Amino acid sequence: MALQVGDIVEGKVTGIKPFGTFVSLPDGKTGLVHISEISYEFVQDISAVLEDGQTVSVKVLSIAPDGKIALSIKRTQPAPERGAKSAGGAARAQRPPRKEAPPRVWQPKPVQPRGEMSFEDMMARYKTQSEEKIADLRRVTENHRGGYSRRRG
């Protein structure tokens, strides 16, 4: 019997990995059920849902030219109703909505009274304020770039 996409067959679980489980099919071939195709519920640990040697009903999702077979267990079962909430969904519904932080915008520091400042004092203050602005801009742009910074030799 040649497998075709869409066929539903019985198989035996032969191996469990963190990313999915391998299922031995009737014609001697082996396919993979990805962790996302095991159940309509969130599955963190496959061993809690399936065990080695267990017989499962699987649907053939795809057959690659190199012979790899993608399978699904959840597509052999009826889909849950849209309105039904799982235990995780109920916990999520009780959580208060997350408040979004306002965007960070550079604001100048309070200006000190000028009074009787010499030209050198005004230039020194201008220089420190400029350096602070540039440092703030660099920090913000590096955060947007993921920490990448250019350094001159």
Question: From CA 136, how far away is CA 103, in angstroms rounded?
Answer: 14
Question: From CA 40, how far away is CA 78, in angstroms rounded?
Answer: 10
Q: Smallest Cα–Cα separation from 74: which of 54, 59, 62, 89?
A: 59
The single-letter code of the amino acid at 61 is L
**Helix-, strand-, coil-residue percentages of the chain, each rounded to 5:** 30, 20, 50
Question: From CA 123, how far away is CA 41, in angstroms rounded?
Answer: 65
Centre a 10 Å sphere on the Cβ of residue 132 and count the other Cβ atoms it contains.
13
Q: What pTM was computed for the model?
A: 0.53
| C-alpha separations of 58 from 78, 81, 144 in Å | 13, 21, 45
Regarding beta strands 30-34 and 20-24, do their DSSP bridges make them parallel or antiparallel, or are they unpaired?
antiparallel
Centre a 10 Å sphere on the Cβ of residue 34 and count the other Cβ atoms it contains.
14
Domain ranges of the chain: 8-77, 107-148
Give the model's pLDDT for residue 107.
72
For the domain made up of 8-77, give the CATH fold: OB fold (Dihydrolipoamide Acetyltransferase, E2P) (2.40.50)
pLDDT in tens, the chain (153 residues): 688 888 899 999 999 999 999 999 988 899 999 999 999 888 889 988 999 999 999 999 999 999 899 999 999 988 887 765 555 555 555 666 666 767 777 677 666 666 778 888 889 989 999 999 998 888 888 777 665 555 555
Q: In sequence order, what are the residues at sequence separation of 6 or more whose Cβ sits closer than 8 angstroms to the Cβ of residue 85?
A: 93
